[in-house]
Amino acid sequence: MDQKVTPSLTMKRRLNATPAEVYRAWTQPDLLARWFGPENVTAQEAELDARVGGRYRITMRGDDGEIHQVSGTYHEVVENERLVFDWAWVSTPERVSRVTVTFKPDGDVTILTLLHEQFFDQDAATRHTRGWTGSMDKLERLFS
């Protein structure tokens, strides 16, 4: 039986911060709200319980006033090293994908690798690539 291959995306960023600082930016609501979301979108509220089995919900508002909410459950939490969590938009809860973020030290900086996989279709992967690119740009600026 053939298994359906689902689209995915991978991004790497070199950040001027320690893995502990970058990890905190992903797991502390006040820090996450400063960078999370594509360009022209602001994270308004972030509820995070960064532990295995813990849940998160992030509410964002676009410049056009549109509200976007994403939520999920943490499956792996290795402090300063790795986060793995489900990803589902509140508007399409049946479309669950998975995000893996790793934080690797490289001298005085951190190499962040983001893998987002199990997208519903290629269009979803393309839209998320744009969104994550904006978020990663803002995360880089947070540490510049």
**pLDDT tens per residue, range 32-81:** 999 999 999 999 999 999 999 999 999 999 999 999 999 999 999 999 99
| pLDDT of 111 strictly over 90 | yes
Predicted confidence at residue 2, as pLDDT, reads: 53
* CA 73 to each of CA 12, 87, 118: distance values in angstroms, whole numbers, following the listed order: 23, 8, 15
Task: Give this prediction's pTM.
Answer: 0.94
DSSP SS3 for 67:
strand
Q: Are 52 and 76 in contact (CB under 8 A)?
A: yes
Tens of pLDDT, residue by residue over 118-143, are 999 999 999 999 999 999 999 999 99
- Distance between CA 66 and CA 121 in Å, rounded? 23
Per 3-state DSSP, the chain is made up of helix, strand and coil in percentages (nearest 5) of 25, 45, 35
